[in-house]
Amino acid sequence: MAMRAVIGACLALSLSAVAACGDSGQRVSPAQPTDGDTDPTATVVASDPSMVPETTAPSAPAPDRSATDLIELCRDVPVLTTDVIGERGSVGDLDPIFHGVLLSYAAEHADTFAGMWIDREAFGTMVLAFTDDPAPHRAALAARAPSPDDIATVEPRPAITDDRPIGEWDITFDVVQTRYSEAELASFQTDVVTVLSDLGTEPFGAGGLVMQNRVGLMVPNGITLAEAADLAERIGAVAPLDAVCFDGAYLDERPEPVAPGTPLDVIALPDADGAYPPDTEVECGGVQFTLGEFASMTPVEEADDGLAAVVEEWIDTAGFGQSSDGWQVLVQTDELATIVRITDGSMEFIGAKPGRNGWIWAGASGGGAQCDVRRRLPAGVGQVDWALDPAFPVPDAASTELHVLVTESSCTGGSELGDRLLGPDVEVTADAVRIAFGAIPLVGDQTCPSNPSTPVTIGLDEPLGARSIVDGLLVGPLSDLVPD
């Protein structure tokens, strides 16, 4: 499900990184806590040194071992968790004075500090990680009171109104133990990025995963076992492999990319009553669903109690002045739920996923813009826009050709579509000519100047007559499709 992620706390992973987050008039300090997006299957609580396993990373792939034995998939790496549970609804903005105490302590112990985050699955518990025994750190933090000399998290610095030790504050926190310090992971990441750059192959990304104490290698299109084994050997020369994970999928073989000239078959036709098949895959405002799911939405009050709590928590702690009324469950599986509110042709959504202690929110929209319900294009096919070409007369009843201009929607660096253009897919019915196009996307990052338009002529088997010319991907305005 596509989501516009909205996180209720500023994120960063490093004492040396500066995160621009929060109100535009505030300057936010380094080392912001990560708002934990944890794996609900993880059960490791690393608050005891004996619970951190000893591992030795191999220096190169052994012949009889697969790449999966050497570099784990990030989704299989347990997250560091806490058994200190806050109160539901307590996830929100971190008190800047409290945060300053934590940052100052972390800076004083930079050789063992391994990051901090807000554990949403523990209902807002603040978690700090160190590579040594957590007990002394936990005690020292609990006994530490705010000071004017603490690192400022916002400017201007707010006044200290509570000078008690933070262990007496009504804010839950915990300390856990892990293997690598934040500084070590940053060094590993630099070396790994150098290896990736030297390879000069398909671009990878790399970033710190503080809750898993790893450097994550982002592999958007997956990686084969052979490619992973080769990469593991190269990375193993500069970093321990148990400090790295693949954020992607292992492939038996790479799927064939969409080839130029591939026929496009994406238009769905309504039946005689104007209804579309319930399994028609669509999207509206970035939310993906089927028309069958849309027709059978459930008011959140009648769904799982945990989902109603997610909506209430979002509205109370991180929402954008949204109403708590009218939310409905659009999609619910064992792994995710999409809760929407539809008003005046617009769709707001809140995402949820199962956590250790029930459903937690996992992204949301800050407000609903009007959107049309449109067919989803197949994987590997990008969006294009088309319009009648103004260089030609407006089609009339006698027209047997339609002249259109096709423009790619995504950033292309100003590149021509050329043979990346797919289509047209054309369906002619008694009352309409439906037209759809797609494009094979360019690989890699692209700049965003205006994209050039490509002229296309579409021949009709018979005169246009009284038919309308319509976008073949359009199912209809959201406001027209809302179930009664």
Helix, strand or coil, per DSSP, at residue 290:
strand
Residue 278, domain member (yes or no): no
Quote the pLDDT of residue 231: 87
Residue among 171, 147, 132, 150 at smallest CA distance from 31: 150
Residue 131, domain member (yes or no): yes
Residue 159, domain member (yes or no): yes
The reply to whether 346 and 436 lie within a common domain is no
Residue 114, domain member (yes or no): yes
The residue from 316, 348, 370 where one domain ends is 370
The reply to whether 29 and 162 lie within a common domain is yes
The reply to whether 248 and 293 lie within a common domain is no
The residue from 203, 233, 255 where one domain ends is 255
DSSP strands (E only) in 271-397: 281-284, 287-290, 298-299, 328-332, 337-343, 346-355, 358-364, 372-375, 384-388
Residue 132, domain member (yes or no): yes
The reply to whether 137 and 118 lie within a common domain is yes
Quote the pLDDT of residue 248: 81
Residue 271, domain member (yes or no): no
Quote the pLDDT of residue 367: 65
The reply to whether 297 and 402 lie within a common domain is no
Angle 446-450-453 from CA coordinates, rounded to 5°: 110
The secondary element (H helix, E strand) that includes residue 229 is: helix 225-236
Quote the pLDDT of residue 321: 76
The reply to whether 91 and 213 lie within a common domain is yes
The reply to whether 366 and 399 lie within a common domain is no
The reply to whether 40 and 180 lie within a common domain is yes
Quote the pLDDT of residue 483: 81
Domain count, the chain: 3
Residue 274, domain member (yes or no): no
Quote the pLDDT of residue 61: 35
Domain with 114 in it? 7-255
Which residues, 6 or more positions from 453, have their beta carbon under 8 angstroms from its beta carbon?
Answer: 405, 406, 407
Residue 154 contacts residue 28 (beta carbons within 8 Å): yes
Give the integer Cα–Cα distance in Å for 237 and 58: 10
The reply to whether 108 and 188 lie within a common domain is yes
The residue from 370, 401, 429 where one domain ends is 370
The reply to whether 246 and 296 lie within a common domain is no
The reply to whether 465 and 341 lie within a common domain is no
The reply to whether 223 and 117 lie within a common domain is yes
Quote the pLDDT of residue 202: 53
Quote the pLDDT of residue 121: 84
Quote the pLDDT of residue 474: 95
Residue 101, domain member (yes or no): yes
Quote the pLDDT of residue 53: 30
**pLDDT tens track, the chain, 484 positions:** 222 222 222 223 233 332 222 222 222 223 444 545 433 322 222 223 232 333 333 333 333 345 456 789 888 899 999 999 887 655 557 899 999 999 999 999 999 999 999 998 888 899 999 999 999 999 999 999 999 999 999 999 999 999 999 999 999 999 999 999 999 999 999 999 888 877 755 556 788 999 999 999 987 777 888 888 888 999 999 999 999 998 888 888 877 889 999 999 999 998 888 889 999 999 998 899 999 999 999 999 999 888 998 898 888 776 677 888 899 999 999 889 999 999 888 898 999 988 877 888 888 876 667 889 999 999 889 999 999 999 999 999 999 999 999 999 999 999 999 999 999 999 999 999 999 999 999 877 788 888 999 999 999 999 999 999 999 999 999 988 888 7
